[in-house]
Amino acid sequence: MSNRLSRKWEGRYEDAPLLRGEGHYSDDHRPAGVVQAVFQRSPHAHAKILSVDVSAALAAPGVIAVMTGADFAALGLGSVSGSIPFPGRDGKPPISPFRPVLAHDKVMHVGEAVAMVVAETRAQAEDAADLVVVEYETLDPVVDLAQATAADTQIWEQVPGNVTHTWMNPPDETGAGRKAMEETFAKAAHVVSVEVSNQRISAVSMEPRGATGSYDPAADRYTLHTGTQGVAGIRAQVAMSMKLDMPKLRVLTDDVGGGFGMKASTYPEYPAILAASKKLGRPVHWQATRSESFMTDNQARDSLWNVDLAMDANGKFLALRAVGKQNAGAYLTGVAVLVPTIHVAFCLPGLYDIPQIVVESTTYLTNTVPTGPYRGAGRPESMYLLERTVDAAARKLGMDPAELRRRNLIPASAMPYNTASGQTYDSGDFPAIFEQALAEADYAGFPARREAAKARGKLLGIGIGCYLEISGGHYHEPAGVSFKDGKLHVSIGPSSNGQGHATVFRQMLADRLGISDDDIVVTAGDSDRDVPGFGAVASRSAMLVGSAVAVTSDAMLVKAKGVATTLLQASEGEVEYANGVFEIAKTGRRVSLFEVAERAEEMVRAGALKETLDTKDEAHTGPTFPNGVHVAEVEVDPDTGHVAIERYTAIADCGVLLNPTIVTGQVQGGVVQGIGQALGEFSNYDPASGQLLAGSFMDYVMPRADHIPSMKVIHHPVPCTTNPIGVKGTGEAGTTAAPPTIVNAIENAISPGKALKLDMPLTPHVIWQAMHNA
């Protein structure tokens, strides 16, 4: 079964029913007898709860129950979320404060739930929730990194200085690494220092979160129906928070309207509705409003980095030092501390040969919505700090940013390349991709286009953004294949959030087995039925699930060949498999794969065979390092600061392409989200009160169609060697590359010879101010 660099497939199996309105999302699930839950949420960022009066709410029409933090405290449930035990400096794990289902003694951010009203209808529950009276004693909030580091207010008694975690890579117990780094900087011909920030943003998935909880008293078992990125992960998190054995909880996911990392985590609403269902003996449904989503969904980014780059007299990179601070919000979510640590460090040095690298990070807790993974989860931050620093270095040296990059690219002949951050790049041709990007963007023709724009009274700029990311996250993944009703069923772990899993894995397996993709059914989203995979995160589905499907199908074929040999009354060496058929070449006798599966079941029933062809197996791989180069050309109106993206070119190496159309769509979608962060998106808070100032689409600026150019996306596949199908990640590539590409282009337009302190989002007002300050 040879791998192919690409195969051209058009269309997606998922699209037709979704376009016909036949999708089934979280809010579509309404079982018989279902009742509606609505949450009363804190208007304060930091306050003591003095009392909660629910009497008026209980007396309201249609109300069945009102539950408060005291009720859930009495149930003895565990913390809703907490960090994985990721060791920091001196081996210390993060400090994870207890996160209650409903706040009991204190509220820690605006939007934290303090009471849940359950009524016959949503309208009745909403009216009654307004009748819950909570008396607060407000406290000073800590909102941003400046306040957190000042330590005038410590929001958690057990978190001194609001610091939950510190980390350094590579570890330097003796101080020798720091000394060597300082010597390199002292001897360097040139040193450039920059400060870059990644503002806080929100996932704003098309479908807000929603869930239905039910309880079966006969089986003493719960069922949670909600949108996820993988049911196994959510089942594990919810079961832990409810102190349940995992078999006591089933999680179901149907269609999901976007996740981007945000739906890979559990939330307080899930154990709340499950507990209420058991208490009331009826299914309980909750659906977030968009305003609730802004106040409760895990937010992202929110980091500040100080970066130093040492160079020799010719601009050769010698050493990179990055020291960062991360605002994790009020509570730690499962992998939040991985974002400013390994996800930043292990992407460095990007495409460049940098002999010495050190990354240090400190994670703080504040009175804001908790943060978690969002498309890239540290990888965009890593490439942003690197690419902004490289542009600043080019300006300091008076050198073309393309030429400085060219001088420092890791050559293809250096693969496998061991990085100073402790990773090994197994494959890649960075110089070829770089030159291809410049050629496709007509970099050489830019000066003429700039002059033409100047004649129109506009400022034209060009920016380069190189990227590399570590993909996979968790490097083993299961899959299962089974034969039922004349079809081959493939069970996978991650729930599709728009990535086209059913299309990709049907087609991949059809190609691998030489059968029709119409004979294959892909299943996911049922923790009882499907394999317990890790989920659709970290650009891992194609590379890990694809590898698992390949390994599992190969194992199934080994069993099938044994059965076919028996059926054909041949020796194993005589039987060959191709295009769905086992055949003895010299006689032409043959039997199809599906016939073999059917006969195997008969033989098992007869006791002649130990097991059917149904097979479960796992793939164990290493990380992959998707990479590429983006080039953007922007036009800035000097009178208003308005930006128009005139041209956008993306050259991407994601290894073997399982479906070029879907991969291209993933790159395009990622670029759009990256443009959103660069130009408009910002989950900003009032620093005095902790109030969320961007709590609706009136204030949270999403990218619009008129922001987005026609993109040129070109694939330059270099197969990886760390998994059996040669696939690298792709889902986060566009989001990783776009922000520095756009910001570099804007800086080139408004200040071509001088590096500026530009903080995203670069709204017209910010750009106008930067032009006048420059």
Looking at residue 41, its pLDDT comes to 98
Looking at residue 542, its pLDDT comes to 94
Query: What are the residues facing 47 on neighbouring strands?
Result: 107, 138
Q: For the chain, how many helices (H) and strands (E)? A: 20, 28
Looking at residue 10, its pLDDT comes to 54
What are the C-alpha distances in Å from 524 to residues 224, 374, 479, 492, 528? 15, 22, 10, 5, 10
Pairing of strands 106-107, 47-53: antiparallel
Could you tell me which residues come within 8 angstroms of residue 297 by beta carbon, excluding any fewer than 6 positions away? 202, 203, 205, 208, 209, 262, 267, 288, 369
What are the C-alpha distances in Å from 278 to residues 66, 157, 352? 14, 34, 57
**Residues present in the chain in total:** 774
Query: Can you state the percent helix, strand and coil of the chain, rounding each to 5?
Result: 35, 25, 40
What are the C-alpha distances in Å from 224 to residues 36, 196, 245, 474? 15, 41, 15, 25
Looking at residue 411, its pLDDT comes to 98
Asked if residues 248 and 216 have their Cβ atoms less than 8 Å apart, the reply is no
Could you tell me which residues come within 8 angstroms of residue 434 by beta carbon, excluding any fewer than 6 positions away? 351, 405, 406, 409, 466, 629
Question: Cα torsion at 604, 610, 614, 620 (round to 10°)?
Answer: 180
Coil, helix or strand at residue 286: strand
Per-residue pLDDT tens digits for 448-460: 999 999 999 999 9
Looking at residue 219, its pLDDT comes to 98
Looking at residue 388, its pLDDT comes to 98
Per-residue pLDDT tens digits for 464-496: 999 999 999 999 999 999 999 999 999 999 999
In angstroms, rounded to a whole number, what is the distance separating the alpha carbons of residues 534 and 290? 28
Looking at residue 13, its pLDDT comes to 87
Whole-model pTM: value is 0.96
Nearest to 305 by CA among 393, 381, 387: 381
421 φ/ψ sector (left φ>0, alpha ψ -120 to 50, else beta): alpha
In angstroms, rounded to a whole number, what is the distance separating the alpha carbons of residues 722 and 544? 11
Nearest to 132 by CA among 50, 42, 55, 64: 55
Could you tell me which residues come within 8 angstroms of residue 605 by beta carbon, excluding any fewer than 6 positions away? none
Looking at residue 7, its pLDDT comes to 42
- 10-residue averages of pLDDT along the chain (774 residues): 39 87 95 98 98 98 98 97 94 96 98 98 98 98 96 91 97 91 97 98 97 98 97 98 98 96 97 98 98 98 98 98 98 97 98 98 98 96 98 97 98 98 98 98 98 98 98 95 97 93 96 96 97 93 96 98 96 93 94 98 96 98 98 97 97 96 95 97 97 96 92 98 96 97 98 89 96 85
Q: In one letter, which amino acid is 430?
A: F
